[in-house]
Amino acid sequence: MTNESQAVRQIWEALALPGIVDVHTHFMPKRVMDKVWQYFDAEGALIGRPWPINYRTEEADRLEKLRSFGVRAFTSLVYPHKPQMAEWLNQWAAQFAAATPDCLHTATFYPETGAAEYVTAAIDGGAQVFKAHVQVGGYDPRDPLLDGVWGVIADARIPVVTHCGSGPQPGAHTGPEPIRELLTRHPHLRLVVAHMGMPEYGDFLDLCDRYPDVMLDTTMAFTPFVEESMPFPATQRRRLRELGDRILFGSDFPNIPYDYADAMRVLTTLDVDDTWLRRVFHDNAAALFDLSPS
């Protein structure tokens, strides 16, 4: 076992957990992942700082790395940036989940004719979590073409990990207002706001207060890389403790510019107790996805 794996395991073993559940990891078809990495290479230039991919290795190596960390379950968050892409990604993700038992069966969608039908097919095929990337997809989550999609997913009670905050760069439809309107239409949607909603942290915490099925994932939040430009407000930290049952650990593996252990370690430095950490690193997601005991 590597020193890095030992460092990760020390964190969750000290909490007497059976491992980690990471709701925000990316596995994709190779040519899609290569393009995503090219985007991040360019994104570094866009935000004025390097964004190295810390785990830019072959797929088998990445899987082994997560398992060595003690990650019990993870996702293959795929997302389209154009029409006629989502259904193909769903087919790939279903095959990947079938071959990778510790990966939660992931699916996605795009505002296009037929979206509700292929989303329904994905649910019937066993999808456990969806990914919506409002920023990269460049679409409005309130698009009428998605009304049926959100309705089907809400009725099925399947979580949707949604990048809807305006970090690291705002998109045409990012920010809390589109999501606020979406939730008025679908108040029981199990929406997991990625990256704690950065940088509109307080607004998305407000939505958690109002909608009991809205959750947040910790992806990249609180790390020095993010705190330099989009710090989590000190005035909002009390609310983290109060919402400990609706915060899920996410890493953004492999697309992070720091070690996996760093993403966990920063959470242990917050003013929270071990019960909060156990919930965030494992128990909340284990309950959400009905994972059997290890």
In sequence order, the β-bridge partners of residue 220 are none
Residues in the chain, how many? Answer: 294
Instruction: Supply the pLDDT for residue 46.
Output: 57
Instruction: Report pLDDT digits (tens) over 248-291.
Output: 999 999 999 999 999 999 999 999 999 999 999 999 999 999 99
Mean pLDDT of the chain: 96
**How many C-beta atoms surround the C-beta of residue 60 within 10 A?**
8
CB 280 within 8 A of CB 249: yes
Q: Is residue 269 part of a domain?
A: yes
Return the beta strands (E) in 83-149 as ranges.
Answer: 103-104, 106-108, 129-133
Q: Is residue 245 part of a domain?
A: yes
Structural domain of 203: 3-288
Instruction: Report pLDDT digits (tens) over 89-111.
Output: 999 999 999 999 999 999 999 99
Q: Is residue 212 part of a domain?
A: yes
The pair of structure tokens assigned to 263 is 């993403």
Domain containing 17 — which CATH number? 3.20.20.140
Q: Is residue 294 part of a domain?
A: no
Instruction: Supply the pLDDT for residue 48.
Output: 72
Instruction: Supply the pLDDT for residue 39.
Output: 86
Instruction: Supply the pLDDT for residue 121.
Output: 98
Q: Is residue 183 part of a domain?
A: yes
How many domains does the chain fold into? 1
CB 190 within 8 A of CB 157: yes
User: Does pTM surpass 0.85?
Assistant: yes
CB 249 within 8 A of CB 195: no
User: Packing angle between helix 3-13 and helix 260-268, nearest 10 degrees?
Assistant: 30
Q: Is residue 293 part of a domain?
A: no
Tell me the three state secondary structure of residue 116.
helix
Q: Looking at the predicted structure, is the pLDDT value of residue 1 above 80?
A: no
Q: Looking at the predicted structure, is the pLDDT value of residue 293 above 90?
A: no
Tell me the three state secondary structure of residue 24.
coil
Residue 121 burial (C-beta neighbours within 10 Å; 0-12, 13-18, 19+): middle
